[in-house]
Structure 1
């Protein structure tokens, strides 16, 4: 196998993995610096330095710090889509979707414990920045498309013709958004993962009316 071939024998596999690693390093550096310093105190150059690359390399990947931060949404959606494709064939769709949606956080210990109040306050201020909200909207649409394609493959539907894959993907994305917003504003702070599980399970159950089923809204 040539040095720059992928595992499947295609040229460029190693190059693509390196590019993805650089992209991930930049997004993680952006999140880390923004949460530590406050988004307004972080420059593109700071993110590049934190990731160990040049400002020019940063600009090859992202146009702004806001785009670098919001890029995590699409990266997680791609991972969830890949995980969904790899789930057992006979597994019920919504069980597979829950596992796939949680997969990007499998190794994130912080997501399984309540954050410190000051950390949560900084993250809340960052998430409320208008410029970041705009980028998040754009990446959210791209994330829907990634997940919808995987759902269409699993269900034998057509992502361009049938309503189901895009409806299901949009529902999952909305559940993640609602759970994350609840996590950001919880007082006292709570872990993120249990909220995601609760939201996704309610969705999988068809969002039963809690006024007629008191247990429907329970964790």
Structure 2
């Protein structure tokens, strides 16, 4: 095989993987959207596939059910956070880079002012109900473990530590995972609509400070 053929094969393989990832994301987003708007019990795999404009067979090629499809969104978001972290300026403090990366994925395409806008109450309630589904809990635990591994590798690369032997990148990844989960839950369950971006900023401010006692 010539170098040109190898490059062409590599490019085709990369394109296939990108299309697979895009399909996974589309299915996951469709599952979340439908379950939030219509309720967990009233959404079927057939509806999710139709919403994503694919066949049910295609859905089954990626996910075993809607719980796995919904949980996949968390892994995809953490993959993007890891990518964003590695793309931040080398001289930027780690926790500043992490905050920028997390905000970019949890509060995308918003200005600082729009992060303070009240959230749609119907959507917030739908997300609360969806996350309370027992069928989703186990999938989220599995996905979170994989997500932390990806972020651990990114933190290790950013800090020059070893993802397998050193505690530090694992601890940072676990703190980011727990911190974002706390922020999401706090934002969703607050008596008044609380902008997620503001809660995330508060969480990372406290993590950066070493969690001082209030």
TM-score, normalisation: structure 1: 0.88
CA drift at 1:119 = 2.3
Aligned to 1:77: 78
> What is the alpha-carbon distance in structure 1 between the residues aligned to residue 121 and residue 107 of structure 2?
23
Structure 1 residue 131 and structure 2 residue 132: aligned? no
Q: Deviations over 1:108-136 (max 9, x none)?
A: 55x93332323222211110111111111
Q: Deviations over 1:127-165 (max 9, x none)?
A: 011111111111111111010000001111111111000
Aligned pairs for 1:43-192 (under 5 A) are 43-109=44-110, 112=115, 113-192=117-196
Q: Which runs of 5+ in 2 are unaligned?
A: none
Q: Give the helix-richer structure, 1 or 2.
A: 2
Q: Which runs of 5+ in 1 are unaligned?
A: 211-219
Flag the 1:5–1:105 CA change in 2: closer, same or farther, 3 A: farther
Q: Which fold has the larger relative contact order, with Cα–Cα distance below 8 Å and residues 6 or more apart in sequence?
A: 2
Q: Deviations over 1:38-57 (max 9, x none)?
A: 01111111100000000000
Contact 1:5 1:13 in 2 (8 A): no
Q: Deviations over 1:74-105 (max 9, x none)?
A: 00110000111111111111111111122213
Higher deviation after alignment, 127-136 or 114-123? 114-123
> What is the alpha-carbon distance in structure 2 between the residues aligned to residue 114 and residue 60 of structure 1?
38
Aligned to 1:215: none
